[in-house]
């Protein structure tokens, strides 16, 4: 007994050290965000002292000069509505192609699954041209693009779940006089909620952090958070390290809040997604 306890203490201590190591990059960024810009590259691991402490100057710059609030707004708008569109339209599509068996629906299913293994670079150039041609190069238009590019994984996960659900329930609803839309929204969709949460989490993580797709389609007119950070590097000549640190902290805060509030769903969503994918 005593021996076992000892070894568990050892494991706890080891994990504790590893956890500190894992957190340290975030903590170092946080610490540096309060230092004057010159001291960040000269002494990145030193605590701020009276000479180097910059109060909230870096945050002021990040929020007002570089426009963090606007970037946050665009990121939030694009992520929320893209995720909602993906859940609504791909669950409907997945139900249709799973329940209606024709050569066409089989082809659609195959194309959707196929799209999951195609890397973005393959369609990068041509997609941005199509988006320009159709005038979808706006934050609102981007929602359609994310729906299209995210449809593969989402329909695959939805249809995987639908296949495991017995038809009887839906047939009973239809016999009782429910129209297909009514059957879908009051019988099928409620059963899909756990899968929908997984789909929402996987897509929210992807879309919120995505850099290249919004950059190539809407450019720097409407900067999302990743684009604003990259622009700080590209647009100002020498990088303002102070503003950079503050922006990195500000970019991480929403993610950490989101993570801590939905942690349970995120972890189980990731497991479910991994098994399906």
76 binds another protein (CB under 8 A): no
CB–CB of 90/155 below 8 Å? yes
Q: Is 240 in the site for another protein (CB under 8 A)?
A: no
Q: How far is the CB of 96 from another protein (least distance, A)?
A: 4
CB 84 → another protein: shortest distance, Å? 13
For residues 152 and 88, the answer to whether their CB atoms sit within 8 Å is no
Site for another protein in 78-97 (CB under 8 A): 89-90, 92-93, 95-97
Binders of another protein among 130-149, rule CB under 8 A? Answer: 130-131, 134, 136, 144-149
* Smallest separation, CB 190 to another protein (Å): 17
Which one of residues 100, 135, 166, 176 is an interface residue with another protein (CB under 8 A)?
A: 100
Q: Please, which of residues 168-207 interact with another protein by CB under 8 A?
A: 170-171, 174, 180-181, 184, 205
Least separation, in Å, of the C-beta of 136 and another protein?
8
Smallest distance from the beta carbon of 30 to another protein, in angstroms?
Answer: 10
- Residue 117 touching another protein (CB under 8 A): yes
* Shortest distance, position 171 Cβ to another protein, whole Å: 5
Give Cβ neighbours of residue 29 (< 8 Å, ≥ 6 apart).
Answer: 245, 248, 249, 252
- For tokens 């047939």, name the residue: 171
Query: Minimum CB separation from another protein for residue 61, in Å?
Result: 16
Q: Mind spelling out the 3-state secondary structure of the chain?
A: CHHHHHHHHHHHHHHHHHHHHHHHHHHHHHHHCCECHHHHHHCCCCCCCCCCECCCHHHHHHHHHCCHHHHHHHHHHHHHHHHHHHHHHHHHHHHHHHHCCCHHHHHHHHHHHHHCCCCHHHHHHHHHHHHHHCCCCCHHHHHHHHHHHHHHHHHHHHHHHHHCCCCHHHHHHHHCCCCHHHHHHHHHHHHHHHHHHHHHHHHHHHHHHCCHHHHHHHCCCCCCHHHHHHHHHHHCCCCCHHHHHHHHHHHHHHHHHHHHHCHHHHHHHHHHHHHHC
Asked if 225 touches another protein (CB under 8 A), the answer is: yes
Q: What distances in angstroms separate CA 137 from CA 18, 24, 87, 89, 134, one per listed residue?
A: 44, 39, 22, 21, 8
In the list 63, 202, 218, 245, the residue contacting another protein (rule: CB under 8 A) is 245
Residue of the chain from 226, 240, 242, 246 that contacts another protein (CB under 8 A): 226
Residue choice 103, 119, 190, 237 for contact with another protein (CB under 8 A): 119
Span near another protein by CB under 8 A; candidates 47-55, 60-68, 191-199, 266-274: 266-274
Q: Which is nearer to another protein, 4 or 50 (CB)?
A: 4
Residues 1-60 that bind another protein (CB under 8 A): 8, 11-12, 14-15, 18-19, 22-23, 25-26, 28-29, 32, 40-41, 44-45
Q: How far is the CB of 242 from another protein (least distance, A)?
A: 11
């Amino acid at each position: 007994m005593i021996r076992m306890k000892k070894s568990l203490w050892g494991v706890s201590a080891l994990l504790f050290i590893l956890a500190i190591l894992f957190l340290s990059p975030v903590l170092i960024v946080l610490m540096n965000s309060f230092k004057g810009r010159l001291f960040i590259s000269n002494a990145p691991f030193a605590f701020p002292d009276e000479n180097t402490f910059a109060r909230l100057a870096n945050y002021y710059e990040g929020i007002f000069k570089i426009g963090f609030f606007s970037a946050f707004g665009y990121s939030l708008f694009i992520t929320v509505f893209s995720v909602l569109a993906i859940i609504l339209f791909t669950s409907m599509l997945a139900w249709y192609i799973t329940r209606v068996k024709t050569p066409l629906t089989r082809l659609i299913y195959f194309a959707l699954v196929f799209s999951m293994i195609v890397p973005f670079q393959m369609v990068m150039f041509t997609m941005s041209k199509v988006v320009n041609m159709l005038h979808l190069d706006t934050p609102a238009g981007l929602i359609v693009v994310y729906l299209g590019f995210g449809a593969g994984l989402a329909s695959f996960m939805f249809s995987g779940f639908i296949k495991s659900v017995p038809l009887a329930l839906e047939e009973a609803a239809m016999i009782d006089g429910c129209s297909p839309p009514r059957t879908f929204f009051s019988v099928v969709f409620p059963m899909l909620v756990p899968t929908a949460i997984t789909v929402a989490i996987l897509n929210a993580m992807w879309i919120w952090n995505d850099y290249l797709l919004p950059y190539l389609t809407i450019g720097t007119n409407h900067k999302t958070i990743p684009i604003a950070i990259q622009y700080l590097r590209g647009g100002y000549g020498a990088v303002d390290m102070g503003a950079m640190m503050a922006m990195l902290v500000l970019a991480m805060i929403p993610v950490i809040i989101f993570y801590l509030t939905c942690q349970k769903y995120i972890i189980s969503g990731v497991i479910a997604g991994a098994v399906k994918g």
